[in-house]
Amino acid sequence: MKSKIRNCPAHRNSGAAPQRLPLRIPASKPKGKNQKPLDADPDNLGDYDAVKELSFDMLRDDHYWHGRIKRILAAAGLVTRRIEQMESHPVWIMHLTRTTFDLAPDQPTAAKQIRKVLCKGGIKILRNELSIVSRSKDWIQCAFVLELGAPGVLN
């Protein structure tokens, strides 16, 4: 006797991936003008803004951002020797080594290039907030302002 599941079009061995059914997510939009939106909890995953804010609250106080910045720069061709966030203010200091990244010879343009790489990777740094402190051949030390993450050092 053949199984009914195997005869289902989603389970046939046709080489195509099975189709997913849409999830039923409870609505979180307020009905009236003066009602507040629902808080983000496991039963209310439809409120994407609240879930996003809750996720960022969890990630602000750990070293996730240190590793993420390191991965973004590594993908671009810059090796991170050390990345540090100061305890007293939201200034980050990075010690980088250029490997395959084609960096401009002048410092303002090079700072813009590094900022652009970080912005494309999802690290939002404002204009003129990243500056190169020192540079010699392939070694670069730069500083920038970012209000995410916990103070600490990643080597």
Q: How far apart are CA 147 and CA 144, in angstroms?
A: 10
Higher pLDDT, 52 or 67: 67
Q: Model-level pTM? A: 0.59
- The predicted pLDDT at position 65 comes to 82
CA 89-95-101 angle, to 5 degrees, is 125
Show the CA angle centred on residue 20, arms to residues 16 and 23, nearest 5°.
170
**In this predicted model, what pLDDT tens digit does every residue of 59-84 receive, in sequence order?**
555 567 888 899 999 999 999 999 98
Which stretch of 34-38, 81-85, 118-122, 138-142 has the lowest confidence by average pLDDT?
A: 34-38
- The answer to whether 141 and 135 have CB atoms below 8 angstroms apart is yes
The b/e string for 81-107 (b: 16+ C-beta within 10 A; e otherwise) is: eebbbeeeeeebebbbebeebebeeeb
pLDDT for the residue numbered 43:
55
Reported as a single tens digit per residue, the pLDDT across 75-111 is 999 999 999 888 888 899 999 999 999 999 999 999 9
